[in-house]
Chain A
Amino acid sequence: MSLGILRSRAISLASKRFLCTNAASASPPLPPPPSAASPSRWSFLKYALVGALTGGTVFAGYASYAYSLDEIEQKTRSLRESAKYTAGDGVTALDKFQGLLYSTAMTVPAKAVELYLDARRVIEEQVKSYTEPYTDKLLPDLLPQEQHVFTLVLDLNETLIHYIWTRDTGWQTFKRPGVDAFLEHLAQFYEIVVYTDEQNMFVDPVIERLDTKHCIRYRLSRPATKYQDGKHFRDLSKLNRNPGKVLYLSGHALESCLQPENCLPIKAWQQQDIDDTALLDFIPFLEFVARSSPPDIRPVLASYQGCDIPSEFIRRSKEHQRRMQEQKNRGRFWK
């Protein structure tokens, strides 16, 4: 009975459609509808799409500027989770339909956010290969019998050498006074490393000429530095050494190092300062540090903060000798 009713209803619908078709073909053709509505609709859709893309681009730019990758990933976790809807048991058909509709509506923003996160992750990893040191262990491991040895990290420009360019004579590179004696004397006590922000092709010939007695063990150049805020910083934590036994000597020590507690500021040298003796003046202090071998050099350097280290060291040595002399005199008086 029900099937018969359905069948008859379908037949009636088909015949009605057929009759309508016949009526349309029989009557004279109507003029085409006015085409003023079509351009307005397409124009509206185009402007809406352009507006959406512009808004998305502006928002992505602001997010790139204001937030880091992890922050965006954390903030948009709930949004991306809402796109995955799983119907639980006991849910009515209406609630299931609503949930499905909501997850469908949220799929496009979630996909857009995931696309943005993937693109940004790829770009940041690409940039990091330029800005970070090329490895987390810039130096090989220390030998077991040299675990007590301090590491002396030296800068190159305006610390050991200075180079200028003049129109008359082109490039000229000058050695700081006393640099040969400095390297030769301190190679007995220290592991000497040159860590500079110059390129490899500049560092290698300079050190070959500067270090004819092979006092410098390792040379690190610009790929080993950390590029941050438009400058190349030395990251002493990547040297694979005990951070309490690393000394960084540079003419621009505090503004070119990420660990200022290990820095030894020295006066920046240029070639017209021919009476400079700063390198040789550091030899007594550095020799004393190597001989006394403190377990951590950082509090020692913190006590010298803001002072000219060689002259302050000499002053403290004199005061120490005077105090020892007073104790000796007091002992003699007591006897």
Chain B
Amino acid sequence: MAYQTPDQDSGSDPKTPTRLYNPYKDLEVPIRNLYQLPTSPEYLFVEEARRKRRSWGENLTFYTGCGYLSGAVGGAASGLVGGVKSFESGDTAKLRVNRVLNSSGHAGRAWGNRLGVIGLLYAGIESGIEATRDTDDVWNSVAAGLGTGALYRAARGVRSAAVAGAVGGVVVGVAVTAKQALKRYVPI
């Protein structure tokens, strides 16, 4: 054969925990080939193994998109309710439809922009904190929430920024705790 290589143990990653395995153990032959088998799934591509979570760009897109979409939908719903409440007795059907559409569009757009900006700030701050600390845990998220709230209300004064930061930190802490509890107690 073209590849007359001596048979030896496969050169696996030394950090990977392995166990020895002998496929000939049931055969009474003098051949003794012990192979090292990994005890955890072995990645083919090193960059896939190194990647544990979404990249900062994906995170930015994800949080901004989710924020804008949820804000737009919620705002449109509240605008719909407000539009229905503001009906007058002499309105025609066309006027009522126009009132509902105006109210929904305006409120949806306003709330969508607001939550989109909050998502953008949160994702950016969290990615920055993670890059700075080089670790990934709950405190990154809480600090990101606090920073987001403070930055969002910074133009309105120091007191308003402090209150918003506290609210942001508490909300994110509750969200992360709820997510971990959900992941632990709800089988998915």
Q: Footprint of B on A, CB under 8 Å?
A: 146, 149, 161, 168-175, 177-178, 180-181, 184-185, 187-190, 205-206, 209-210, 213-215, 217, 271-272, 274, 277, 280-284, 310, 314, 317-318, 321
Contact = CB atoms under 8 A, between A and B. Distances in A.
B43 A174 contact: yes
Interface residues of B, number: 33
Interface of B: 1-5, 7, 9-12, 21, 23-24, 26-28, 33, 35-45, 48, 51-54
26 contacts: A161-B44, A168-B53, A169-B51, A173-B43, A173-B44, A175-B42, A175-B44, A177-B38, A177-B42, A178-B10, A178-B37, A184-B10, A189-B1, A190-B1, A205-B45, A206-B44, A210-B44, A214-B3, A217-B2, A271-B41, A272-B41, A274-B39, A280-B37, A281-B23, A283-B23, A284-B24
Given A169-B51, A173-B48, A181-B35, A277 B23 contact: yes
B38 to A, nearest CB: 6
A171 B48 contact: yes
A149 B5 contact: no
A178 B35 contact: yes
Contact of B53 (A169, A209, A283): A169
A321 B27 CA distance: 10
B27 A317 contact: yes
Contacts of B37: 177-178, 277, 280
B54 A274 contact: no
A180 B12 CA distance: 9
Nearest to B36: A181
A174 B46 CA distance: 10
Given A178-B21, A277-B37, A187 B5 contact: yes
